[in-house]
Amino acid sequence: MSGKATVAVVGVGIMGTAIATRLLETKHPVAVFDPDAAKTAALAAKGARVATHPADAAAASDFVITSLNSARIVRIAVFGKDGVAETGAAGKMLIDMSSIDPAATRAMASELREKTGMAWVDAPLSGGAPKALIGKLTVMAGGDAADVERARLVMDSLCANYSHMGPSGAGQTTKLVNQILCALSFQAVAEAVRLAEAGGVDAAKLPAALAGGRADSAILQEYGAKMARRDYTPTGSIVNMLKDLEGAQAFAAAERVPLPLTAAITDSIAYGTVPGPIASIRLFAVSIVSFVNELPIPSSSPATGNIAIGSIKALPTRCNTPNTRPLIQVSRPFAYTNFN
């Protein structure tokens, strides 16, 4: 016996797999569940027990981590047939590391405690799979103070920065803030790279030149040079970022908080993820900034302003007029971070 808390991980996509792998490497007994048998088989080879359903995964576990794509899926995994709630009990804890709506989080946390006595901590993360694998995630937690502290029995194996942000839902609200800051930062860095190039500056030198100053950021350091050399290797899902930004806008609308820059970025990303000619980039990240002087206006489509980028067409913004460039143009698949 390891003496470590037993953990079930429900949902072993990119993030769930990284979380489960790290927990196994730090000697936690781990059970996993996912509808995709190939994903669970890979973790079984590392020592995880493969559960037949979420209730089975939770039955012998002190903690249940959910890493899922939406509040609807979390609800099914917890309260649906063979869900976590069927074997939930007082003394156990669900740690939801998904990025979902704060209000849905509060409702489900209350329902789980009422039905089973099981605690719920919302713990969305920043840092993606690479940071999870080395135990360096940033996690923003919401819930009762005692529950958030008890969750350290698991979180200390996964996190370098673990903060209690307030009651249930506060972690999810903080994640929305995180995503706004990330999206705006990507836009700012990409625009800065393009402006530097237009002025004859080697944009690859920007991260080192600005390091330590007020313009410095993790995104500048990680992606400035990649943007300068047009490294379009995708490292995450823009669809997840879009989901989070739309969630932030919905939350802000309910609270009557204007988010004009977030709205502009969200629209730009949405143009790159709609079905149609550019559907092939839906599971990849895209650069939402326009390298506007790199491509000629195609004369064949002056009315629509559609811009052909390689073999992909990018949709124009609402600001287009005939024979003019879009104000913000969705460009080629770009190397965003893992937005999970």
E strand or H helix that includes residue 97 = none
Residues 183 and 188: their CA atoms lie apart, in Å, by 9
CB atoms within 10 A of CB 228: 20
Beta bridge partners of 141: 164
The two structure tokens encoding residue 249: 């806008």
DSSP state of 298: P
Q: How many whole angstroms from its chain centre is CA 307?
A: 28
Beta bridge partners of 179: none
Backbone angles phi, psi at 40, to 5 degrees: -70, -30
The two structure tokens encoding residue 280: 């092939």
Among this protein's residues, is 39 annotated catalytic?
A: no
Beta bridge partners of 153: none
CB atoms within 10 A of CB 116: 19
Strands (E), the chain: 7-10, 30-33, 49-50, 63-66, 93-96, 119-122, 125-126, 137-142, 159-166, 307-309, 312-314
Q: Which is the catalytic residue, given 39, 131, 175, 226?
A: 175
Cβ(148)–Cβ(170) below 8 Å: no
E strand or H helix that includes residue 305 = none
Opening angle at CA 146, ends 145 and 151, nearest 5: 100
Residues labelled as active-site residues: 175
